[in-house]
Structure 1
Amino acid sequence: MIADTGMGVCGVLTYRGRVGRDRRSFSTTGQQGENVMRKAKRALAAMVMTLAVFEASASGYEMWNGGAWVRNGTFLLSGPTVLVVSNIQIPCNADFVVQISNGVATVIGADFSGTMACVNIDASTPWSISPPVAAGINVNLTITTYLSAMGNSCHLPVSGTLTYANPNPMSSPNELAFSGQYFQCKFSTDSGTWPYKLSTMSRIRAYFP
Structure 2
Amino acid sequence: MKIENKKVLDEVRSIVLSLFGTLILVVTLNTKVFANVTVEQCSMENTLIGGDTLILNKLCFKPKQGDIVVFLNKIQKSSFFDDFRIYFTDLKERKNEKNNKTNVRFIKRVIGVENDEIDIKDGFVYVNGKKLKEEYIKTETIPREIKFPLRVPKNQIFVLGDNREVSSDSRDFGCISLNQLEGKAVFRLTPLKKSGFLK
TM-score, normalised by the number of residues in structure 1:
0.29
More contact order relative to length (CA 8 Å, sep ≥ 6):
2
Give the TM-score normalised by structure 2. 0.30
Task: Point out the structure with the larger strand share.
Answer: 1
- Normalized per residue, the structure richer in helix is 2
Greater C-alpha Rg: 1
